[in-house]
Amino acid sequence: MTAPNLAPVLFLSHGTTMMLGTDSRTRDYWEALGRDALSHGVKGVIIMGAHWNSLDDKIHVAMNPKPSVMPISNTLPELWANFKPNPDLETGQRVMDTLRAKGFDVDPDPGFEWMIDTVPLLIGMFGDKCPPVTIISQNSHWDPFFHARIGVALRHLREERYLLIGSGGGVHNLYLTEWKYMLQYKDNFAMERPPEPKTMEFRQSLEDIICKNGGGPELRRGLTRLMKHPYFREAHGTDEHYVSACFVAGAVSFVEDQGTPGCLGAETWELRSQCESQFCLGTWPEDWRVA
């Protein structure tokens, strides 16, 4: 049975910077997710990106009261230059306190600047109506179970209308990426040949685990185990764009989460080797809807 009164959890492939400015089903889906969240009174966003990795056994939480935004290249400046970050320092402190109580080594980062693994998603979802945001780093050991436990520790915040997001990639192997389509032709969706069969096999396994299992312990076991998939390294040349999916899995992995539906809301392939899958686990409770 689906757990009542919990916000959904998202695993979103942020893709290249061109995803923000190019018409696609993915961009339409981002907008729909944002409208849905705002219409249900979302209190804040807690997001783990892929480009911020802490050393040793640490995690960091963004605590810069006035962060700047990394330029979003290959996208019209009018789409992002006026975006105003909305950092949530109060929730950031609460997240740190919660994680420390669970045994994590967590430090604030008062100088962190927002990057392209989170900003295009936030703009695509919310535009100039972005709710308060807390950004959490990954750990550079990229242990899937470690990152799932972060999601477990923060799951209870879903009861308070916090939207938890893992930003990464369904298939993200930059060693196979054909950059010429973007750099030479400014066409991130061009594809003269189909993706490699091994990457397509991994992409299907990812969809099967999320959409056939839905929430619950099976989801956490499946997504953490997927890093042992025989084609994982073909699909992810490095680990950082995958372990945010493990964070998501932890946030919807309780027995009470069994029955929570998993949905592939949109998908596009970029630069031949990058599969930008957009997954949603759960739905907003109807009685949370606001005017």
Q: Is the pLDDT of residue 212 over 60?
A: yes
- For residue 253, give both structure tokens: 């992995």
- The pTM score is 0.96
CB 245 within 8 A of CB 147: no
- For residue 209, give both structure tokens: 């685990």
What percent of the chain stands above pLDDT 70? 99
At 46, is the pLDDT very low, low, confident or very high (cuts 50, 70, 90)? Answer: very high
Strands of 133-139's sheet, edge to edge?
A: 105-109, 58-62, 133-139, 44-54, 162-168, 9-13, 274-281, 262-270
End-to-end CA distance of the chain: give it in Å, rounded: 28
pLDDT tens digits for 91-132?
A: 999 999 999 999 999 999 999 999 999 999 999 999 999 999
CB 97 within 8 A of CB 52: no
Q: What's the CATH superfamily of 9-288?
A: LigB-like (3.40.830.10)
At 2, is the pLDDT very low, low, confident or very high (cuts 50, 70, 90)? Answer: very low
Specify which residues 245 forms β-bridges with. Answer: none
Give the pLDDT score at 4: 65
Give the pLDDT score at 125: 98
Give the pLDDT score at 226: 98
Give the pLDDT score at 291: 73
pLDDT tens digits for 248-269?
A: 999 999 999 999 999 999 999 9
Neighbours of 251 (CB within 10 A): 36
pLDDT tens digits for 222-234?
A: 999 999 999 999 9
Say how far apart CA 172 and CA 169 lie, in whole Å: 6
- Which amino acid is present at 41? G
- Which amino acid is present at 187? D
Q: Where do we find the tokens 């192997």?
A: 173
Give the pLDDT score at 1: 44
